Structure 1
Amino acid sequence: MSQENISIIKNYDSSKISWLKSGGPISQFIKIKNLDDLKKNTQIASNQNIISIGNFSNLLIKDKGFNGIAIKLGGDFAKIKFENDIIVVGSAVLDNYFSKYCYQNSIQGYEFLFTIPGTVGGNIYMNAGCYGKEIKDYLISVIFYDMKSKEVKEEKIENLDFTYRRGFQKKNTIILYGKFKKISGNKTKIKKQMELYEQNRNDTQPQRVNCCGSIFKNPPNHNAWKLIKLSLDESFYEGPIRLSKKHSNFFENDPNISADKVIKFIETIKSKVNQKYQIILDQELIIV
């Protein structure tokens, strides 16, 4: 493999960067800063399992580990630029940074991203959203690398099937950039909206703890947090891994809790809700 602009770590302990502070080893963890190195490394490793990771806020590696390559983009993919009335955003850009960048340039619509802990690439993958907004509402197109054809391609949003918490998930691809609408707005109003969203998050969600965000998607016509709260007793809000007392669709855990215990906790919650309401919750947390 080319060593220029690349950092390769073998048997990488994923708990070091997981927001849950849990998770097994990754066979090869690679940081890549430009397209040339991405092409070289995915071509050499074409017969291996490859995943692209963002901010590790919504991902858990099983205790047995991931036998493959985890690619973390940075460098060229952590930049934002304007192309006329379009914003081109690298997949490695943090949602919080993108939101602040838009504020600084008097661009409205992206205030909701201020409270989302992931990256733009992860956002596009999951069609993340909150406060009644989703990334697809502002996305124009996705630029991605096709590992089979070894080409950079672009797909417009109208040709993609984005649904609730499911975005661009084509197999054998790595999201490189998103193109977004540039909508001019009032800087004072944008700032005020960001502050309101931030205050709401601080009031209703756990802060400064090991937490991965919402555990489950909301089922049709239901709130996941309410189903969980009505299905589980107080014992689930105590212990080394526990539901948040602020929000029942969030859980907190002490450092170094095994991934297997996290998974078992999630499955127990699903089982309890299903027993009481005959509803199978679909988790947001990605487990590999």
Structure 2
Amino acid sequence: MKYEPIYNELIKYMKTENIRLSEPLRDHVYTKLGGKADLFVTPESIEELQAALEIGKAHDLPLTVLGSGSNVIIKDGGIRGLTIGMGKLTNLSIEGERLHAQAGAAIIEASRLALDFGLSGLEFACGIPGSVGGALFMNAGAYGGQISDVLERATVMTQSGDVLMIDKGDLELSYRKTTFMDSDYIILEAEFKLDTADPVVIKAKMDVLTEARESKQPLEYPSCGSVFKRPPGHFAGKLIQDSKMQGVRIGGAEVSKKHAGFIVNIDNSTSKDYLDLIDLVRTTVKSTFDVDLDTEVIVLGEDE
């Protein structure tokens, strides 16, 4: 498909620098992997997002929505159609004990703003390297906390451009799972209900969690974070380590020597390397311990 006419329609509504053809998606995900997006747009307002959706729908383009890409693997063939990056919708605000965060805001920044206002509840998120929208999409969590603990409601957009508010009780939130995974909603904003607390106590907890993350996780290499969900009664990293998979490589991808629950892009890995290694880890753990490892990472795009 020729995208120049669609590009010309889009520039009536948004800045040219926010509309890109054949955009390398490895520049937009933490793994630094993957092919190109045919058409990549980054709206700066709800109105621009609505315009992009309307134009994409008029041209019957497949739609993909991308947050900060911390928990995503883009295949080597890239993504066809329209890819919308939410990374410029980043407003954060406080009303009393409620924190409002647009989908593109970093969840780490939301936790820091809560600290500034003496609000407790988001300390667990101080080291999660993702956007608010992505964290809500998968009910992200760490160190005993998760998004569902503090979420009050979400504001979403349908693919027809309508804006809706959905209460927490209607989102079917469970461990690394939400209604969003089975819907076409685009997350616009999350509203968190927090508790007033001593900022000194909040910061002390955040410092402990930050030190734990930095000392245990392989932050020196690109990765998608923790690859696997926690299997009932087990820890994924321990199973992988005991299966003698730690340090195993395929191409440029390696099971981290620092934390076996991570797969790192250690030397110009392809997405195929990375995904093949994930499959090998799952197969090995299954044959060794008869435990199924389910991934929490989202895989998008096409094979090369």
**TM exceeding 0.5:** yes
Deviation string, structure 1 residues 184-238 (Cα, Å, up to 9, x no partner): 1100001100100011111111122112210100111110111111113455169
Aligned to 1:8: 19
Q: 1:284 to 1:255 in 2, by over 3 A?
A: same
Q: Give the distance between the partners of 1:235 and 1:246, measured in 2 at CA.
A: 9
Aligned to 1:80: 92
Letter in 2 for 1:244: S
Letter in 2 for 1:66: I
Aligned to 1:152: 163
Decide whether the 8 Å contact of 1:103 with 1:187 is kept in 2: yes
The alpha carbon displacement at 1:136 in A equals: 0.5
2:79 maps to 1:66: yes
Decide whether the 8 Å contact of 2:10 with 2:55 is kept in 1: no
Question: Which is worse superposed, 46-55 or 107-116?
Answer: 46-55
- SS at the partner of 2:126? helix
Letter in 1 for 2:104: A
Letter in 2 for 1:143: T
Deviation string, structure 1 residues 90-146 (Cα, Å, up to 9, x no partner): 111101111111111111111111110001000000100011111000000110001
Q: Give the distance between the partners of 2:221 and 2:46, measured in 1 at CA.
A: 35
2:178 maps to 1:169: no
Aligned to 1:203: 215
Decide whether the 8 Å contact of 1:232 with 1:269 is kept in 2: no
Q: Give the distance between the partners of 1:95 and 1:70, measured in 2 at CA.
A: 22
Letter in 1 for 2:10: S
Q: Give the distance between the partners of 2:83 and 2:22, measured in 1 at CA.
A: 11
Q: Give the distance between the partners of 1:74 and 1:286, measured in 2 at CA.
A: 17
Q: 1:209 to 1:233 in 2, by over 3 A?
A: closer
Q: Give the distance between the partners of 1:70 and 1:10, measured in 2 at CA.
A: 10
Question: In angstroms, what is the RMSD of aligned CA positions?
Answer: 1.7
Deviation string, structure 1 residues 243-277 (Cα, Å, up to 9, x no partner): 11221001212353111111111111111111112
Q: How many residue pairs align between the two structures?
A: 286
Decide whether the 8 Å contact of 1:15 with 1:256 is kept in 2: no
Q: 1:234 to 1:184 in 2, by over 3 A?
A: closer
Q: Give the distance between the partners of 1:184 and 1:97, measured in 2 at CA.
A: 18
Match of 1:262 among 261, 270, 274: 274
2:139 maps to 1:127: yes
Decide whether the 8 Å contact of 1:139 with 1:157 is kept in 2: yes
Unaligned runs of at least 5 residues, structure 2: 1-8
Decide whether the 8 Å contact of 1:237 with 1:245 is kept in 2: no
Q: Give the distance between the partners of 1:51 and 1:234, measured in 2 at CA.
A: 33
2:57 maps to 1:37: no
Q: Give the distance between the partners of 1:207 and 1:63, measured in 2 at CA.
A: 23
Deviation string, structure 1 residues 45-88 (Cα, Å, up to 9, x no partner): 1222212211111111111111122211244x311123444221
Decide whether the 8 Å contact of 1:20 with 1:255 is kept in 2: no
Q: Give the distance between the partners of 1:235 and 1:37, measured in 2 at CA.
A: 45
TM-score (norm 2): 0.89
The alpha carbon displacement at 1:2 in A equals: 3.3
The alpha carbon displacement at 1:18 in A equals: 2.1
